[in-house]
């Protein structure tokens, strides 16, 4: 998202002259150190960028690939390397400005690579990230054993794909860890249910509850037997 924002910022400057724009492009790149190059395209040529300046330069000479004949609204691709800079994968973002014009940003994969290395070390898994139909950025750490589970995640626009391969040893460790947490919880829940059932069952069989139930269902009858009091000459109950 941040890289697309940088590309959008560059696209808003596309109609200005290269001389006026270079200073702003340099400032943008200074505040986003992961950006290798930023500039503008016209008919497949770089017309202005931080690396090439005002010189017209075919994009394939810099990035090693040709762009589509007509620019889509957004175009994304991970490629092996860039002519100017370290021999490391880069990601190219292209945002359309007009039918034959576009703004582009080339982003170094170092920061993505470092993040993937951290995740791979923490999860003992292998990560592979692909932008568009380009080359995959992979974590350097090797799996401890054969991949047992392979998961694939895709962005909503289907331009970014992440593949995670996990060995059985890692999964078994997670299972055991969760098992040690689940067993005590299940035991506590079972004991609680047993105590609740016992209390409910005893209450259900109590004498007071049986008498109250009998009165509710008219199971008791009362017979009145008067007694004659000779002394007072009257009946009493």
pLDDT in tens, 50-89: 888 888 888 887 777 778 778 888 989 888 777 666 778 8
Q: How is residue 132 written in tokens?
A: 């568009």
The answer to whether position 68 is within a domain reads: yes
Give yes or no: residues 72 and 148 share one domain.
no
Do 70 and 89 belong to one domain?
Answer: yes
**Same domain (yes/no): 13, 92:** yes
- pLDDT per position as a tens digit, 161-219: 988 887 766 656 566 566 667 777 777 888 888 888 777 777 666 666 777 777 777 77
Whether 126 is in a domain gets the answer yes
Same domain, residue pair 81 and 118: no
Q: What is the pLDDT of residues 88-142, one digit of tens each?
A: 888 889 999 988 889 999 888 888 888 888 887 777 788 888 888 888 888 866 6
Instruction: Measure the CA angle with vertex 76, ends 3 and 147; round to 5°.
Output: 100
Answer for the pair 169, 124: CB distance below 8 angstroms, yes or no.
yes
Which among 153, 169, 185 is the end of a domain?
Answer: 169
Q: Which of 51, 108, 27, 65 is nearest to 40 (CA)?
A: 51
**Cβ neighbours for 76, distance < 8 A, ≥ 6 positions apart:** 91, 92, 93, 94, 131, 132, 159, 160
67 CB contacts (<8 Å, ≥6 apart)? 41, 44, 59, 75, 94, 102
Q: What is the pTM assigned to this prediction? A: 0.66
Range of the domain at 22: 2-108
CB–CB of 139/120 below 8 Å? yes
Q: How many domains does the chain have?
A: 2
Q: Please check whether residue 165 lies inside any domain of the structure.
A: yes
């Amino acid at each position: 998202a941040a890289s697309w924002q940088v590309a959008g910022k560059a696209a808003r400057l596309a109609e200005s002259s290269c001389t006026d724009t270079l200073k702003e492009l340099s400032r943008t790149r200074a505040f986003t150190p992961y950006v290798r190059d930023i500039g503008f395209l016209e008919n497949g040529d770089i017309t202005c960028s931080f690396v090439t300046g005002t010189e017209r330069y075919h994009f394939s000479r810099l990035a090693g690939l040709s762009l589509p004949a007509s620019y889509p609204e957004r175009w994304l691709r991970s490629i092996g390397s860039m002519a100017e800079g370290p021999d490391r994968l880069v990601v190219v973002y292209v945002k359309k400005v007009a039918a034959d014009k576009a703004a582009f940003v080339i982003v170094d994969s170092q920061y993505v690579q470092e993040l993937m290395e951290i995740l791979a070390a923490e999860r003992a898994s292998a990560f592979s990230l692909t932008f568009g139909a380009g080359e995959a950025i992979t974590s350097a750490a090797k799996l401890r054993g054969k991949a047992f589970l392979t998961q694939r995640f895709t962005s909503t626009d289907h331009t970014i794909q992440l593949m995670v391969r996990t060995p059985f040893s890692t999964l078994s460790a997670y299972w055991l860890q969760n098992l040690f947490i689940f067993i005590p919880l299940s035991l506590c829940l079972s004991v609680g249910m047993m105590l609740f059932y016992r209390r409910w069952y005893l209450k259900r069989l109590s004498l007071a509850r049986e008498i109250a139930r009998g009165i509710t269902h008219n199971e008791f009858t009362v017979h009145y037997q008067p007694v004659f009091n000779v002394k007072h000459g009257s009946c009493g109950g």
